[in-house]
A and B are shown apart, each in its own frame.
Chain A
Amino acid sequence: NAGVTQTPKFRILKIGQSMTLQCAQDMNHNYMYWYRQDPGMGLKLIYYSVGAGITDKGEVPNGYNVSRSTTEDFPLRLELAAPSQTSVYFCASTGWTGNEQFFGPGTRLTVL
């Protein structure tokens, strides 16, 4: 199993540009999450999904959108990128028990 994969690993955006961060998992997990980690800080939840077609906001959803058309994929869309969105983005997933969240390797995004 590949676990949780994320692409790209690094990206530099200009202010106002848009992009989609890709996330996929091959563990047949129902729950998926997007977090952001600002320098020297903990992770904060942006959006989460409890299954295909079902998504909901986390702690810091402004400036982002998500969709969940399949169990495997959970892309995060940034519209009109701003410097405040410079961060490392992590995707994670877990099964019904929630005993362990499996994290992707992260995407480092810089908005200039």
Chain B
Amino acid sequence: AQTVTQSQPEMSVQEAETVTLSCTYDTSESDYYLFWYKQPPSRQMILVIRQEAYKQQNATENRFSVNFQKAAKSFSLKISDSQLGDAAMYFCAYRPSSGGTSYGKLTFGQGTILTVHP
């Protein structure tokens, strides 16, 4: 079974600085997808960024980028120019490729609470 581990229960960053959230996963699959979700106090789950395992290029979305190391099974999220609105719980998630019986099911890590200090 796949597992996703976020080893940092809490992180903090100063406004305008950069912070990196860590995630490791375990799988025997060669094709899969990785995601970072943001959950603010409103509880809404918001997709931040997605990475396809077959792509070597790291995904970026504005101030958010990932460092995907397939061999090491590592998938970290870097937030640049941190803003107060970035404060939230962040979840790393894994999904097998769309083929077979995966049916899009996500496996989540335990989450990292990010605090942004003004």
Contact = CB atoms under 8 A, between A and B. Distances in A.
Nearest to A56: B103
Contacts of A100: 47, 50
Nearest to B113: A40
Interface in B1-42: 4, 6, 33, 42
B45 A45 contact: no
B108 A103 contact: no
A79 to B, nearest CB: 24
A103 B45 CA distance: 6
A94 to B, nearest CB: 5
B108 A98 contact: no
Sorting the interface of chain B by its residue count into under 10, 10 to 19, 20 to 34 or 35 or more gives 20 to 34
Contact of B43 (A33, A94, A96, A106): A106
A60 interface: no
A98 B98 contact: yes
B56 interface: no
A105 to B, nearest CB: 6
Interface residues of A, number: 25
Given A88-B43, A90-B45, A98 B95 contact: yes
Given A97-B98, A98-B33, A106-B43, A50 B111 contact: no
Contact of B110 (A41, A88, A97, A105): A41
Q: Which 9 A-B pairs have the closest CB atoms?
A: A98-B104, A42-B108, A103-B45, A106-B43, A43-B108, A94-B104, A31-B104, A98-B98, A42-B110
17 contacts: A33-B106, A40-B111, A42-B6, A44-B108, A45-B106, A92-B45, A97-B98, A98-B33, A98-B104, A99-B50, A100-B47, A100-B50, A101-B47, A103-B45, A105-B42, A106-B43, A106-B44
